[in-house]
Amino acid sequence: MQTGKACSEAITGEVRVRIEGGLAHFPGLAKEQTVSFNDLGLPEREELTSLADKADFFGCTPANETARPDARTYTVGLTIDGRSREIRVAEPIRDPALARLVSVVRRLSKQQAVAR
Amino acid sequence: MCASTHRHSLHCILPPYILSQIAENGSPELRAIAMHSLLIDPTIRIVRASTAGPVTGTIARRRSAAGNVLTPSPLRTIRDAGGEPEAPGPIVVRREGQGPTGDVAVDEAYDGLGATFDLFWEAYQRNSIDDAGLPLDATVHYDRDYDNAFWDGTQMVFGDGDGELFNRFTIALDVIGHELTHGVTEKEAGLVYFNQSGALNESISDVFGSLVKQRLLGQTADQADWLIGAGLLTSAVNGVALRSMKEPGTAYDDPVLGKDPQPGHMDDFVRTNQDNGGVHINSGIPNRAFYLSATAIGGNAWDQAGRIWYNTLLDPNTRANTDFAGFARVTIDVAGRLHGTESAEATAVAEAWTAVGVI
Ligand SMILES: [Zn+2]
């Protein structure tokens, strides 16, 4: 247990997200948000890492779909332990793992935006 | 099944194919009774629901022959995503004709789709999104703390909001009407969701979304609040709605959300790469043109102004890449055809577009 915990705590990285579109355009929510792993708890870091693996975030080829009316487009950047990538996905996100990853990233960035 | 209280003994005695013959060839009285029996036949209703389309062909002809015109039904199906980012949601929670569930988002979506269907059918004789009885599907409880609603090409998707800044997105009837109208626009003019044509696409959804609400509340153009999404923002937000068609740019001014960026005049048109070229921003200009037209014409906005905008959406001169000025010209043409080129209605529409600097 101790070994696993130490290993997880060592995960470094950050999350970046910019949300466009949606039913209304809110200038205050349209800015890019960056969340450092240093500001996240261990469960959140582990969840992000696990979801990024499940979604094959660093290797997948995202579908190049244009946004449907009022659907959002997410530009998501992840840096985890030196690996870094940015992808752009439009709703509805059909891949369940990628949809969950974007959902978590969205909520973490929202907490950050509201806290500021 | 054939209880003695059954009013139409024909249905109990005769198989459907015989009823069909009577509906087509019998005396007027027998035809009407046979048609009624056919229409309440559960097998026909099940086929209609499962084929998900309007009754056409032989049955439609028989219905017509019997002088019996069935009021179209919205054929609603509401699904629950259970807080997952999954649409359509995996669980069907309410189908057409079923009673309230007690889940407020489910019931608001059901009622909102019904009110929107009613506006298009009763005011413009349009049978659903495609004017051919397309069933109306919606998914609620989409994702967690999800502050949005959208049309995904086949269904309406509603989040519950985060509870901090946004309430559930089914709370505003005009938002439900707005989403469904995106489907109508897609089937008609197909306005490209980018720049001015995209802002027109957005504006048309606001127009008919607002008309759904005004009609349900029985409000004239003067009585309506002309807000889009009233009730969506929580009390923590300094704002009253997502947008104001009457005074674009005044719906909110909040430390977190920022200030409502909508212009109400071409002088303030916003050029931006964000938001698909500002589709939710510059829609304030045609929104205000509609508001000015409707209030100048007076009465119920869905009657005259709404009819002009609806016919414009269907007009072959409104194309996928139509801009504000092109759309304005078609509204004026349509108003002239409906009411006369020198009519008060056509004048009101032309003056409205002039007032917002489009023509
Ligand atoms: Zn929209």
CB pair distance less than 8 Å for A30 and B256: no
Q: Is B5 within the bounds of a domain?
A: no
A74: left (phi over 0), alpha (psi -120 to 50) or beta: beta
Q: What is the ipTM of this complex?
A: 0.87
Q: How many distinct structural domains can be found in chain B?
A: 2
pTM of the model: 0.83
Decide which of B187, B218, B250 is a domain's last residue: B187
Asked whether residue B241 falls in the same domain as residue B318, the answer is: yes
Lowest mean pLDDT among A2-6, B146-150, B207-211, B316-320: A2-6
Kindly report the CATH number assigned to the domain that includes residue B255.
Answer: 1.10.390.10
Nearest to B148 among A27, A70, A99 (CB): A70
pLDDT at A113: 64
Asked whether residue B350 falls in the same domain as residue B242, the answer is: yes
Phi, psi at residue A17, to the nearest 5°?
Answer: -150, 140
Asked whether residue B150 falls in the same domain as residue B202, the answer is: no
Q: Is B257 within the bounds of a domain?
A: yes
pLDDT at B38: 41
Closest among B245, B236, B241 to B264, alpha carbons compared: B245
Report the distance separating Cα B349 and Cα B290, nearest Å: 8
Q: Residue B91 carries which DSSP code?
A: E
Kindly report the CATH number assigned to the domain that includes residue B84.
Answer: 3.10.170.10
**3-state SS, residue B335:** helix
Residue B291 in contact with residue B245, Cβ under 8 Å? yes
| Alpha helices in chain B, H assignment, sequence order | 9-13, 16-25, 28-40, 42-51, 57-65, 104-118, 124, 173-187, 195-217, 275-278, 284-297, 305-314, 324-339, 344-355
Residue of A nearest to B192 (CA): A69
Cα(A97) to centroid of ligand 1, in Å? 27
Decide which of B139, B170, B187 is a domain's last residue: B187
Asked whether residue B200 falls in the same domain as residue B297, the answer is: yes
Q: List the structure tokens of B186.
A: 């897609």
Residues of chain A that touch chain B, judged by Cβ-Cβ distance less than 8 Å: 20-30, 66-72, 91-93, 96, 99-100, 102-103, 107, 110, 113-114
pLDDT at B71: 82
Name which of B84, B147, B160 to mutate to probe chain A: the one with the most chain A Cβ atoms within 10 A of its Cβ. Answer: B147
Closest among B93, B78, B83 to B142, alpha carbons compared: B83
Asked whether residue B60 falls in the same domain as residue B77, the answer is: yes
Beta bridge partners of B137: B77
Q: Is B4 within the bounds of a domain?
A: no
Burial label for B273, CB within 10 Å (0-12, 13-18, 19+), is exposed
Structural domain for B316, as ranges: 195-355
* Catalytic annotation, residues of B: 179, 280
How many CB pairs lie under 8 A apart between chains A and B?
104
Cα(A69) to centroid of ligand 1, in Å? 5
Cα(B126) to centroid of ligand 1, in Å? 20
Q: Is B288 within the bounds of a domain?
A: yes
pLDDT confidence band for A12 (50 / 70 / 90): confident
Residues near ion ligand 1 (Cβ under 5 Å): A 69-70; B 202, 205
Q: Are strands B91-95 and B76-80 parallel, antiparallel or unpaired?
A: antiparallel
Asked whether residue B182 falls in the same domain as residue B207, the answer is: no
Mean predicted confidence (pLDDT) in A95-105: 93
Q: Is B276 within the bounds of a domain?
A: yes
pLDDT confidence band for A7 (50 / 70 / 90): very low
Name which of A18, A19, A20, A26 to mutate to probe chain B: the one with the most chain B Cβ atoms within 10 A of its Cβ. Answer: A26
Asked whether residue B204 falls in the same domain as residue B179, the answer is: no
Decide which of B187, B220, B250 is a domain's last residue: B187
Q: Is B102 within the bounds of a domain?
A: yes
Partners of A30 on chain B (C-beta within 8 Å) are 258, 274-275
Q: Which amino acid is at A97?
A: A
Q: Is B6 within the bounds of a domain?
A: no
Q: Is B75 within the bounds of a domain?
A: yes
pLDDT confidence band for A31 (50 / 70 / 90): confident
Residues across chain A: 116
